[in-house]
Amino acid sequence: MPALVEVDRLKKYFLVKTGLSVFRGKERFVHAVDDISFNIDEGETLGLVGESGCGKTTTGRLALRLLEPTAGTVRFRGGDIFQLDARQLKKLRRDMQIVFQDPFASLNPRKTVEQILSKPFFLHGNLKRSEIDAEVLQLLDRVGLSPASLYINRHPHEFSGGQRQRIGIARAIALNPKLIVADEPVSALDMSVRAQTLNLLKQLKREFGLTYLFITHDLAVVRSMCDRVAIMYLGKIVELADVHELYENPAHPYTKAILSATPIPNPRVARSTERSHLTGEVPSPIDPPSGCRFHPRCRYARPDCIKEEPCLIDIGRSHVAACYLHS
Amino acid sequence: MATVKAVDCVQLAIDSKEAVGLIGESGSGKTMTAFSIMRLVPRPGRIVGGEITFQDRNLLELNEREMQAVRGKSISMIFQDPMTYLNPVMKIGDQIAEVVVRHQHIERGGARRIALDALEKVQMPDPSIIMNYYPHQLSGGMRQRALIAMAISCRPSLLIADEPTTALDVTVQMQILGLIGRIKEEFATSLLLITHDFGIVAEICDRVYVMYAGKIVEGADVFALYENARHPYTRGLLECLLSPKEYKETLPTIGGFVPDLANPPSGCRFHPRCPHVRPICSEKEPPVLEVEPGHSVFCWLYT
Amino acid sequence: MVGKPFLPPGDEHLFGTDDLGRDVYSGILHGARISLVVGFLAAATSVAIGVSVGGLSGYYGGKIDDLLMRITELFLVLPRFLVALVMVALFGSSVLNVIFVIGILSWPGTARLVRAEFMSLKEREFAQAAKALGASDGNLILDEILPNASPSIIVNGSLQVASAILVEGGLSFLGLGDPNMPSWGLMLGNAQRFIRTAWWMAVFPGISIFLVVLGLNLVGDGLNDALNPRLKERQ
């Protein structure tokens, strides 16, 4: 069965604007996403994990065609989304939606909840006003904001962060999409609210048969939310595996490093666990290191690593890693 | 021993060389507690009662000039977003030197040497070069190191860190937490770490206070708190934590929402959301009870 | 109402009379109408052009932005008052011309402001969410972005009114306003010769201009405070 989403050799470079074009000389680019390929199967939650500058957010935007790629393609149900015309694209949008990180910025501050949630129905379909109103009330109930009538005429600033996030989720499921890109959906929320929101996402996935592309930097959340995980570093995918396999047998040194750096809430375990400390910080994506991009910070770096970039090597158990340690 | 008591019947104690965590969610009052210790409560808020005893003085009785002598020298603070607290038009070296000159009354050359030394202590890469950089030329992690350097330049007795790593990548976070832990040991600085992330508390704190809706609900050493939490809110919070070490199918949650502090619930502020609520909980605020030496709870379940 | 010329302020003529015996107080009232009408209409013209240019420029970026911004800069570089003088001298000084001239010279400030707002707002997540829902460019601009830019536009608009009144006043003062319409500037211009003997002819129009412009500036500030903090409420 073909995958729901196929990302194929996707690239996105952003031009760095400095000074007047006449004096600029050679152009410089931010290599935000640099030749990545992966699939998302229907019904799964694929985690896309990495630190700042790795390109995971840009990948999420590209997957929904909120950005145009520099090269490569994304296929949704076999069709290249970048080849669609405006009308076809609008129709496709019903099937793929997004939930954002910042519950304060993701809702139009000048609109009421009712206006925000009616919009999907106005843009698509020919429902009457009364039918739209009914749908909106039902959406709010579905995301746990009951009784809905209390909330529909309020503005976003009257809600807490967790409640705003629920409204954003309601907006995303309004048109019954197949795919939802969740871009750090709980990172800005308090711990107890985080748990509530993740439960909601899981519940909706079961009820609606959703597929998630779950973008985050937090490996604690990934463990309980995702089926498969892709680790990104400086625009590249460096490892991809089923979730339990990744945590039991991390293959890429970077994966090991971020696993090691994730705080463990149990104080005894935290202080007795051996950590591999990573020095330095992520280099600039404008001039990424040659060869394997992780080599300047890698304790296992060899001459090969500087010369040529490793491809994703199959190490069995549906697990791939881009590292010469495994060739 | 440095004892700190803040407002709203909040009572904390921090020993020398001790790392105390103050954990709470949004609206719990943890940041305001920190600002109160520094007497930097933004208007229109103000401190209305209580005592803050620091090195045998009540900080609330000092006038502004005396307080300025304390800030930056005996008590320093670092914040979540270093960019907001670094002067964007001054070089890093000059900013740190300025703090030193102010508190130690040495001339500029000596102050710059101390600034360089501070940057080395926070393991800033190429410290002599960074001395002449501006904040916008540094990465997030480096800016936080610069802020820490400024905070420790005069060897404070107490360092208050308000969500110091929330905006940083997880690998950089670990580096900064390690750095803060080393500073605590090397300079015998006490630490008050304010955060919403229990994972951080578990990594470096000795003792923890849990805050909810402006009040402290429990205080204990970090192991006792994790293994034997008494207050229903603490228990609820610990249960909804996620760890990279285990998979949880459904995450336990605490029902309801954080109350509006302008109109807090009567009696125990947690009672509307408490699974063990009793009639007295809505009538009177619970007194403190020491359930074990060093472990206190504010809850009617234990009286 | 015509009375004896050069009467000082008194019971019959509250602000006195001018050199032709006209009641200054009536002149102030009639002049108010002209100044305010010209001010608001000129500001409206300026805002309409500025929002269109700035909005398209900020939203689309790229070559459209480059082109529109060069045109904007061209207009910015022109010394506003001198060009107004020239245009009125060339095309006549009817009220409509004056409104048009002021409007066409004031829009660049608004355009730049609106451009900045649009550039920032279109990247905001709620706008991206609408795009993900399938909203067209027009819908995004009118339904999502413009309402959020309107506080800035309104504040800028009120300041434009104040500024337009001053320019109109200046033009009339120099005799380039519509001679058929009483205007405070015209009254001021007329009063120049008599300042030492009949101070009330200059003082009252002058104070009126001052009060209106000050008032509009304060309204602008007040609107700024009232309209914007809502965005920052729940932090």
Altogether, the residues listed in chain A come to a count of 327
| Helical (H) or strand (E) element with C91 | helix C80-91
CA atoms within 13 A on the CB side of B15: 9
Please state, in angstroms and as integers, the Cα–Cα distance from residue B48 to each residue in B41, B53, B268, C44, following that order: 11, 15, 21, 51
Average pLDDT on C140-163 reads: 90
The interface predicted TM-score of the complex, written ipTM, equals 0.86
Which of A81-85, B46-50, B58-62, C218-222 has the least mean pLDDT? B46-50
Average pLDDT on A305-319 reads: 91
Residue of A196, A223, A261 with shortest CB distance to B242: A223
Which of A19-28, A51-60, B186-195 has the least mean pLDDT? A19-28
CATH code of the domain made up of A5-95+177-326 = 3.40.50.300
Q: How confident is the model at residue A54 (pLDDT cuts 50, 70, 90)?
A: very high
A105–C124 CB contact, under 8 Å: yes
Give chain A positions within 8 Å (CB) of C129.
98, 100, 106, 168, 171
As a whole number, the mean pLDDT across chain C is 86
Angle (nearest 5°) at CA C192 between C188 and C194: 115
Residue of C125, C130, C132 with shortest CB distance to A102: C125
Residue of A105, A157, A160 with shortest CB distance to C125: A105
Give phi and psi for C110, each to the nearest 5.
-60, -40
Which one of A192, A196, A254, A279 would you mutate to disrupt binding with B, by most B Cβ within 10 Å of its Cβ?
A192
Q: Are C165 and C38 in contact (CB under 8 A)?
A: yes
Average pLDDT on A175-192 reads: 92
The 3-state DSSP composition of chain A as helix, strand, coil percent (nearest 5) reads 40, 20, 40
CA B6 to chain centre: 13
pLDDT value of residue C137: 93
What gap in Å lies between CA A194 and CA A162, rounded to an integer?
8
Which one of A108, A124, A132 would you mutate to disrupt binding with C, by most C Cβ within 10 Å of its Cβ?
A108
Q: How confident is the model at residue A66 (pLDDT cuts 50, 70, 90)?
A: very high
| Helical (H) or strand (E) element with B237 | helix B232-239
A247 touches chain B (CB under 8 A): yes
Average pLDDT on C223-229 reads: 72
Q: Is A152 helix (H, G, I), strand (E, B) or coil?
A: coil
Residues B209-231: tens digit of each pLDDT = 999 988 889 999 999 999 999 99
Q: State yes or no: pLDDT of C106 exceeds 50.
A: yes
Give chain A positions within 8 Å (CB) of C133.
93, 97, 119-120, 123-124, 171, 175
Q: Which residue has the higher pLDDT, A63 or C5?
A: A63
Q: How confident is the model at residue B55 (pLDDT cuts 50, 70, 90)?
A: confident
Q: How confident is the model at residue C228 (pLDDT cuts 50, 70, 90)?
A: low
Q: Are C37 and C91 in contact (CB under 8 A)?
A: no
CA atoms within 13 A on the CB side of A197: 29
What gap in Å lies between CA C13 and CA B134, rounded to an integer?
67
Q: Which residue has the higher pLDDT, A93 or B261?
A: A93
Quickly list H helices, chain A: 21-24, 56-63, 86-93, 113-123, 129-142, 161-173, 191-208, 219-225, 243-248, 253-261, 267-272, 303-307
**Position A197: which residue type?**
T
What gap in Å lies between CA B175 and CA B123, rounded to an integer?
10
A123–C135 CB contact, under 8 Å: yes
As a whole number, the mean pLDDT across chain A is 91
Q: Which residue has the higher pLDDT, C96 or C124?
A: C124
Q: Which two three-digit tokens encode residue B37?
A: 């210790």
Q: State yes or no: pLDDT of C234 exceeds 60.
A: no
> What domains does chain C contain, in order, with CATH numbers?
24-225 (1.10.3720.10)
What gap in Å lies between CA B225 and CA B206, rounded to an integer?
11
pLDDT value of residue A32: 93
Domain ranges of chain B: 231-303
Average pLDDT on A312-327 reads: 90
What gap in Å lies between CA C75 and CA C79, rounded to an integer?
9
A191–B172 CB contact, under 8 Å: no
Residues B145-160: tens digit of each pLDDT = 999 999 999 889 999 9
pLDDT value of residue A220: 92
Average pLDDT on A246-274 reads: 92
Residues C181-190: tens digit of each pLDDT = 778 888 888 8
- Cis preceding-peptide flag for B44 (omega within 30 of 0): yes
End-to-end CA distance of chain C: 60
Q: How confident is the model at residue B7 (pLDDT cuts 50, 70, 90)?
A: very low
A109–C148 CB contact, under 8 Å: yes
Which of A166-175, A188-197, A254-263 has the least mean pLDDT? A188-197
Average pLDDT on B9-38 reads: 83
CB atoms within 10 A of CB C183: 29
pLDDT value of residue A295: 92
pLDDT value of residue A19: 58
Average pLDDT on B266-292 reads: 89
Global pTM value: 0.86
Give phi and psi for B86, each to the nearest 5.
-100, 140
pLDDT value of residue B2: 39
Q: State yes or no: pLDDT of B5 exceeds 70.
A: no
Instruction: Give the residue on A whose Cα is nearest the Cα of C125.
Output: A106
Average pLDDT on C17-43 reads: 87
What gap in Å lies between CA B266 and CA B268, rounded to an integer?
6
Residue of A190, A195, A262 with shortest CB distance to B244: A262
What gap in Å lies between CA A276 and CA C113, rounded to an integer?
50
C234–A104 CB contact, under 8 Å: yes
Residue of A61, A109, A124 with shortest CB distance to C134: A124
As a whole number, the mean pLDDT across chain B is 87
Angle (nearest 5°) at CA B79 between B78 and B83: 110
